[in-house]
Amino acid sequence: MEKRTLRSLEVSALGLGCMGMSAFYGSADEDEAIATIQRALELGTNFLDTAQLYGPLTNEILVGRAIKGHRDEYVIATKFARRMDNATPGDMSTLGPLDGSAEHVRTSIEGSLQRLGTDYVDLYYQHRVDPNVPIEETVGAMAELVQEGKIRHIGLSEASADTLRRAEAVHPDHRAADRVLNL
């Protein structure tokens, strides 16, 4: 499998989006999904994309089960955006509002790490930028998680060029492994 570099993060040229394995496209077969994730690795696809929103919450659990015992062979990307304090796994109607606050960034990663069964994620990104919280606060909290070793790379999804410039000012290239990615 060819590799691609996202800033300094090397991933397989083909990634596996796991969203549909537990949400949005009808019923799912967990055993088949786990087999698919494991077979993807056998074929050289090591880049998995998930999010706390998918399911909600259930997709990260599924990915965690699939990678158990082989964590270091995978590149795991997961996302945060909405409050999940009162979320019921599998029930989209229980999601809270967007929240880019530093406190939410921290509680979200803790939940993701627990559901994934790991102590770090390779790429952690904001699924949707919260217009009510300065990006400097959000990325500042994410940068602290890089320093703590809980995440290795930071990303933003659906961010404007101005937002990316402001994020980069908060978290410049201290190490090659922790630049802001626009996904």
Whole-number Å distance between alpha carbons of 6 and 10 = 6
Indicate if 54 belongs to the active site. Answer: yes
Whole-number Å distance between alpha carbons of 169 and 183 = 18
| 91 secondary structure, DSSP code | B
Q: At 49, list the tokens.
A: 């994309």
Whole-number Å distance between alpha carbons of 174 and 98 = 29
Which one of the listed residues 25, 54, 74, 120 is annotated catalytic? 54
Residue with tokens 């606060």: 137
Q: At 181, list the tokens.
A: 């990615």
Helices (H) and strands (E) in the chain, counts: 5, 8
**Preceding amide of 172 cis, omega within 30:** no
Q: Which sequence positions are flagged as catalytic?
A: 54
